Amino acid sequence: MPVPGAATPGDSIDRLARTLAPTLYIQRDESFPLSRVAAVVNPTRPIIAYHLLWRDDVHGAWIPFTVPTDEEVVWVGYDPATLAPTELWTYWHGTILHTDWRGKGPPAFDVQWGKHGSLPHGVAEGDLPKLRSLNLFYAFTIIGLPDIWLGNTDRKGPWCFCHSFKRYREFTRPLVVGPRLDLVIRADDAHEALRAVFGSKYSNKTRWP
């Protein structure tokens, strides 16, 4: 069944999405793989959304009717004339982070252990919202151990983040997204297309920054 708005492999929209597809830098102890990726090219703005479907989330897996996936999204802005990346946005636990990316090379993002919140690669930790800091999320890996243990009885996952805060902040496993794209879509509202790729109960996070 055709997916609404899907680009033809090899056409200009498909090539654009693959050219600007980011590299993800994953914390080296991450146990949940990236399952699917869809790129949504905005038809009127020079911006591409990359929707990332991780196999699961470290917290809350034991809660009844919880869907065993974790959808996140990052955005890449580009210069329409040169197609060079100019801006990055990330969805960070309900907050959208933004950074200027002119002259910094190909798009790149850091991916938080277990929760998969996304950060512009190399972002200063002091720039994060105080109630969404890496320090706080690291504390949750300790305070929330019973939650993690319960989740691991329901599906295979980590028993803990059994390392230091320094290691929690090390994003050292590169994962190139371009070759992993399952679908490229050209649409302002790609809800139906994403349902076709991710399933009917995906998170449906913010479409555009």
pTM more than 0.75:
yes
Q: What is the mean pLDDT of residues 3-26?
A: 92
Note whether residue 36 is domain-resident: yes
Q: How crowded is residue 131: how many other Cβ atoms within 10 Å of its Cβ?
A: 9
Note whether residue 17 is domain-resident: yes
Task: Report residue 1's pLDDT band, with 50, 70 and 90 as the boundaries.
Answer: low
The tally of domains found in the chain comes to: 1
Range of the domain at 45: 12-198
Note whether residue 194 is domain-resident: yes
What are the pLDDT digits (tens) for 90-148?
999 999 999 999 999 999 999 999 999 999 999 988 889 988 999 999 999 999 999 88
Note whether residue 203 is domain-resident: no
Note whether residue 208 is domain-resident: no
Note whether residue 28 is domain-resident: yes
What are the pLDDT digits (tens) for 135-171?
999 999 999 999 889 888 878 889 999 999 999 999 9
Note whether residue 188 is domain-resident: yes
Note whether residue 152 is domain-resident: yes
pLDDT exceeding 90 applies to what percent of the chain?
A: 72
